[in-house]
Amino acid sequence: MTDFPINYKIVETSIDELLKFFKKSTIRGYCKNCPNFQKVWSCPPYDFSEEEYISNYKFAYIIGAKLNYSDIKEYVDKLTSSGMDNIHISTDIYYKLRKIVDRNMFSMENFFSDSKILLGGKCNLCNECAREKNNPCVHQDKLRYSLESLGFEVSSITEEILKDKIIFTGDSLPPYCLSIYALFSKEKLSTKELEMQLTSSVH
């Protein structure tokens, strides 16, 4: 089994500071062009106020989960030799990263009370979301949103808070896969302890 050495970077900010990147009307316009719009419970539109949801917390811990392609060269080469194109290779790696980090994030949330995680994209718990058939979520206790789905401009958060950059796949593969998560908390937390929780989880 291929080992995926994921590097984490965690930066603390306040909810007030993070709200500088809250561009709900702009982001919602992008969401409406996404095939998941109105089809996945973790994606908009919601039956609650995003602003009220966010205001329940005082601190935000922005978490970049990065996987360098050079660290999994053998796996990338295997996908390439199978005839897979760059988009599908990047997608495959993204979802493998998500599977590992999502699990670690849920473990971290359980450790810190009065906190709520935001995932690096839509919920992936079910192969087909119950919302597709207008049914309620079957995993209400595990339903989590993302920074982008709540209305935050993730690219700007990545560059200005994490000092990193999301690189999309084009004619060539990017040097890494980077997924942006967050932990909202009512209390100030230790970033070192957060990292310990993330990295101590079994992959």
Question: Residue 201: which pLDDT band, with cuts at 50, 70 and 90?
Answer: low
Task: With H, G, I as helix, E, B as strand and everything else as coil, classify residue 161.
Answer: coil
Domain count, the chain: 1
- Cβ atoms within 10 Å of 187's Cβ, excluding its own: 11
Degrees to nearest 5, angle at CA 52 with 180 and 143: 50
- What local confidence, expressed as pLDDT, does residue 97 receive? 96
> Does residue 41 belong to any structural domain of this protein?
yes
Question: Residue 1: which pLDDT band, with cuts at 50, 70 and 90?
Answer: very low
> Does residue 167 belong to any structural domain of this protein?
yes
Q: Rounded distance, CA 69 to CA 202, Å?
A: 21
CA proximity to 154, closest of 188, 190, 118, 125: 118
Residues 113-164 have pLDDT tens digits of 999 999 999 999 999 999 999 999 999 999 999 999 999 999 999 999 999 9
- What local confidence, expressed as pLDDT, does residue 103 receive? 95
For residue 87, give both structure tokens.
């988009």
> Does residue 1 belong to any structural domain of this protein?
no
> Does residue 26 belong to any structural domain of this protein?
yes
> Does residue 61 belong to any structural domain of this protein?
yes
Query: What is the residue range of 192's domain?
Result: 7-200
> Does residue 66 belong to any structural domain of this protein?
yes
> Does residue 135 belong to any structural domain of this protein?
yes
> Does residue 2 belong to any structural domain of this protein?
no
